[in-house]
Amino acid sequence: MTQSMKTVLRSDELSCPSCVPKIEKALNALPGVEKATVRFNTGKIEVEHDPSQSSVEALVDAVRSTGYEARPSAF
């Protein structure tokens, strides 16, 4: 039984919407990530994931590997 939670990351570095599918695909490739949505207009990254398989830290690393710095946010 996996338990999924929603994590919100924020990035100030999204400058062209072409990064949206790139980051979404990188996050979706992680284990335990059910759904990743990148909102270009606000720079918000919403991830539904199982924290026991992919931690918040792993999400941040995945975004960083595509070349963008993001940080967890309360909302």
Partner 1 sequence: MSGVILEIKSAFAHPARRRFWLTMGSGGLIATGLLARYGFDMIELWSALMVAAALLAGSDIAVRAWRALRVRHLSIELLVTVAAVGALMIGEVWESAAVTFLFMFGAWLEVRTMGQTRGALKELLDAAPATATVLRNGEPAEIPAHEVQPGEIVLVKAGQRIPVDGEVTEGTAAVSEAAITGEPMPAEKAPGSHVHAGTIAENGLLRIRATNVGADTTLARIIQRVEEAQDEKAPSQRMIERFAQWYTPSIIGLAVLTFAFTQDIRLALTLLVVGCPGALVISTPVSIVAGIGRAARSGILIKGGQHLESAGRIDTLALDKTGTLTEGKPRLATVIALQGMSEDDLLRLAATAEGGSDHPLGRPIVEAGRKQGPLPTPETLDEHAGMGISARIEGRDVAAGNRRLMEKLGIPLGTEGEAGLERLLKAGQTPILVAADGRLIGLLGMSDMAREGAKEAIARLREIGIRRVVMLTGDQEGAAQAVAREVGIDEVHAGLMPEDKLDLIRKMKADGAHVAMVGDGINDAPALAAADTSIAMGAAGSDVAIETADIALLKDDLGKIPEAMAISRATLSNMRQNLVIALVTVAGLLAGVFSGDIHMAGGMLVHQLSVLIVIANGMRLLRVPKGARPVAGGHETSVSAAAKAATART
Q: Where do contacts with partner 1 occur on this chain (CB under 8 A)?
A: 12-18, 21-22, 25-26, 28-29, 39-44, 64-69, 74-75
Residue 35, beta-bridge partner list: 48
Pick the closer one to partner 1 by CB: 17 or 53.
17
Q: C-beta of 56: minimal distance to partner 1 in Å?
A: 15
Distances from the Cα of 30 to the Cαs of 12, 16, 20, 41, 59, in angstroms? 22, 23, 16, 24, 8
Q: What's the closest the beta carbon of residue 2 comes to partner 1, in angstroms?
A: 22
